[in-house]
């Protein structure tokens, strides 16, 4: 049965829940044909509905529009919905019905699956394509909708396929497809949904010395060391961490900070355990993190088994350090929180290799590792001047995978060489766990040699990245940017909402008159 809807007005959006149902009440006034669609006691849509006497006279007989001039391109389905997603629309399932369209939104093809709701919505989507905007618009009014099911069914039968042409006549504001004609659609700018995605992480990728005497914020100090431990954990996708909590207040534990650092890494899960003689004290801290709290005696052996990282505080001269060391697997790390003036002799007495050290305002954080004899590697000098070393590297990786042979890539004298990125990729390749790199970015450094004391001492630590810059060994780290106050003292400012429709985002913004110089315009007056 053909039907005509006129003077449609969408008063408000209705949020459809994932579970449950939404009930609509339809009121139609017989005398006038006016109708209301009511949900939750308020009108959602209003307009007028009628049955035409001759539906063919109600629709305009228009020829297909001419192909647009200029930069004309045919877009496939994936391209169309990628463009719509960038504008803020997130269509799924049957509502992804545009099969083909041009980039001007003039001609295209729509999928017909026997669903009028999704089909008409797809026509509205098509009308958006030609708009030269990246904003999110929603329909608020429609002058006229004419639906002729018989004509539509006949056209689909003639075409012999489940796709129907669609045409947009922008000069007269009409969309036609099959037996449906939409006239005079008006759309209004809608505020983007809040918190549709996580806030961006603002970080800097910077060189951090392994022995860092510069005082850093606690978050950055721990980030540099925890990332270093993760980087040298043979590509682990699940990081197992244990922290000794005995004799420490819950608020002094490093668990929340370390957990946050590891959880921010992509494709990594964390198994965190807090071991103490009174686990009930830490339950309120560990449960929100999804961590465990277990009862362990710090002097009675390993706290956990096969950990990648063991964490303790003020235990450098305590028997508890031995328990932390026993808890880590071969190649694992021990992270200590100690006094900033802890003597080097005390750290040396632990029998562990000092891998890295970072200082905060009141504490020092030291990353330790068991000393392991490193086998003599195959040394390959890499350069961007030629690529003769590529085949040698391929063969070395095969040996590494088959025989466990260690490979060492060395770059010296080319500070802009992309060795860091290449190493991050090689780690993911078969045999990549045995590859290490030495990146010498110091013009005063001696020529690399395995027998040189300076290089041998660093290579004994078995780290993936070994960068020498300014006479200091270190590596590149992702550190969070510190929040700064962006307020300025200005002569002219105005107030506006940073997010359209969100009054909570009202901010004072520096105005253009701040940059006005009267001396440049002697004959003008504001």
- Cα atoms in the Cβ-side hemisphere of radius 13 Å centred on 304: 24
Instruction: Write the pLDDT tens digit of every residue in 174-198.
Output: 999 999 999 999 888 776 555 555 6
Same domain flag for 89 and 112:
yes
* Position 234 pLDDT exceeds 70: yes
Pairing of the two strands 25-28 and 34-39: antiparallel
Phi, psi at 258, each rounded to 5°: -65, -40
Whether residue 10 lies inside any domain: the answer is: no
More confident residue, 13 or 311: 311
Same domain flag for 262 and 183:
no
CA distance 210 to 357: 6
Q: Which two tokens stand for residue 434?
A: 């045995």
Contact at 8 Å (CB) between 105 and 79? no
**Of 320, 351, 369, which residue sits at a domain end?**
369
Instruction: Write the pLDDT tens digit of every residue in 97-120.
Output: 999 998 888 999 999 999 999 999
450-472: average pLDDT: 94
Contact at 8 Å (CB) between 356 and 472? no
Same domain flag for 392 and 322:
no
Same domain flag for 362 and 393:
no
Could you give the 3-state DSSP secondary structure of residue 21? coil
Whether residue 467 lies inside any domain: the answer is: no
Other residues' Cβ atoms within 10 Å of the Cβ of residue 244: 24
Residues spanned by the domain of 339: 211-369
Same domain flag for 166 and 242:
no
Whether residue 155 lies inside any domain: the answer is: yes
Same domain flag for 179 and 301:
no
Instruction: Write the pLDDT tens digit of every residue in 258-273.
Output: 999 998 888 899 999 9
The fraction of the chain above a pLDDT of 70, given in percent, is 97
CA distance 313 to 335: 8
pLDDT, residue 129, reads 84
Same domain flag for 333 and 360:
yes
484-510: average pLDDT: 79
Which 8-state DSSP code applies to residue 464? S
pLDDT, residue 443, reads 92
More confident residue, 16 or 208: 208
**Of 413, 430, 461, which residue sits at a domain end?**
461
Same domain flag for 124 and 215:
no
Give the H/E segment covering residue 127: helix 116-129
* Position 60 pLDDT exceeds 70: yes
Residues 6 or more apart from 448 whose CB is under 8 A from it?
A: 410, 412, 438, 440, 455
* Position 256 pLDDT exceeds 60: yes
Please report, for the domain that includes residue 328, its CATH number: 3.40.50.150
Nearest to 128 by CA among 67, 190, 179: 190
pLDDT, residue 260, reads 92
Same domain flag for 143 and 269:
no
Mean residue pLDDT across the chain: 89
CA distance 217 to 261: 14
Give the H/E segment covering residue 54: none
491 confidence band (pLDDT: 50, 70, 90): confident
410 confidence band (pLDDT: 50, 70, 90): very high
Whether residue 524 lies inside any domain: the answer is: no
pLDDT, residue 37, reads 93
Same domain flag for 333 and 413:
no
Same domain flag for 240 and 324:
yes
Please report, for the domain that includes residue 178, its CATH number: 3.10.129.110
Q: How many domains are contained in the chain?
A: 3
**Of 347, 369, 391, which residue sits at a domain end?**
369
pLDDT, residue 267, reads 87
pLDDT, residue 310, reads 95
Whether residue 333 lies inside any domain: the answer is: yes
Whether residue 345 lies inside any domain: the answer is: yes
137 confidence band (pLDDT: 50, 70, 90): confident
Same domain flag for 171 and 226:
no
């Amino acid at each position: 049965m053909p039907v005509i809807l006129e003077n449609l007005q969408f008063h408000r959006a209705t949020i459809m829940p994932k579970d449950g149902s939404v009930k609509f009440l339809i009121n139609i006034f017989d005398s006038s044909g006016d109708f209301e669609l009511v949900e939750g006691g308020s009108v959602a849509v209003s307009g007028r509905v009628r049955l035409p006497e001759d539906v063919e006279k109600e629709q305009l007989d228009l020829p297909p529009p001419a192909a647009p001039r200029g930069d004309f391109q045919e877009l496939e389905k994936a391209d169309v919905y990628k463009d719509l997603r960038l504008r803020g629309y997130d269509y799924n399932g049957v509502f992804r019905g545009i099969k083909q369209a041009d980039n001007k939104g003039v001609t295209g093809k729509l999928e017909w699956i026997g669903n009028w709701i999704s089909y008409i919505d797809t026509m509205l989507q098509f009308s958006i394509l030609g708009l030269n905007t990246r904003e999110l618009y929603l329909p608020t009014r429609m002058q006229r909708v004419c639906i002729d099911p018989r004509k539509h069914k006949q056209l689909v039968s003639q075409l012999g396929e489940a796709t129907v042409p669609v045409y947009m006549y922008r000069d007269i504001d009409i969309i036609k497809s099959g037996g449906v004609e939409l006239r005079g659609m008006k759309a209004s700018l809608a505020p983007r949904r809040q918190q549709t995605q996580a806030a961006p992480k603002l970080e800097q990728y910077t060189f951090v010395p392994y022995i860092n005497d510069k005082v850093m914020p606690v978050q950055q100090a721990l980030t540099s060391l925890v990332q270093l431990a993760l980087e040298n954990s043979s590509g682990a996708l699940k990081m197992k961490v244990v922290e000794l909590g005995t004799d420490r207040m819950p608020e002094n534990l490093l668990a929340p900070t370390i957990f946050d650092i590891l959880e921010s890494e992509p494709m990594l899960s964390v198994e965190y355990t807090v071991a103490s003689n009174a686990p009930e004290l830490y339950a309120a801290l560990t449960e929100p993190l999804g961590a465990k709290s277990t009862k362990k005696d710090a002097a009675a052996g390993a706290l956990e088994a096969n950990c990648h990282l063991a964490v303790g505080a003020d235990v450098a001269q305590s028997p508890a350090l031995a328990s932390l060391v026993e808890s880590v697997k071969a190649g694992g790390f021990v992270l200590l929180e100690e006094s900033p003036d802890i003597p080097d002799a005390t750290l040396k007495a632990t029998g562990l290799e000092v891998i890295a050290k970072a200082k905060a305002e009141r504490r020092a954080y030291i990353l330790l590792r068991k000393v392991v004899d490193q086998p003599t590697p195959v040394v390959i000098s890499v350069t961007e001047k030629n690529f003769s070393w590529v085949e040698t590297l391929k063969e070395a990786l095969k040996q590494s995978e088959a025989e466990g042979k260690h490979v060492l890539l060395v770059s010296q004298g080319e500070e802009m060489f992309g060795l860091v990125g290449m190493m991050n990729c090689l780690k993911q390749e078969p045999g990549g766990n045995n590859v290490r790199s030495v990146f010498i970015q110091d013009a005063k450094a001696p020529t690399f040699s395995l027998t040189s004391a300076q290089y041998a001492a660093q290579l004994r630590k078995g780290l993936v990245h070994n960068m020498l810059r300014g006479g200091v060994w270190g590596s590149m780290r992702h550190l969070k940017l510190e929040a700064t106050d962006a307020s300025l003292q200005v002569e002219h400012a105005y107030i506006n909402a940073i997010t359209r429709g969100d009054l909570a985002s009202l901010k004072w913004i520096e105005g253009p008159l701040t940059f006005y110089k009267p001396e440049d315009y002697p004959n003008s007056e504001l």
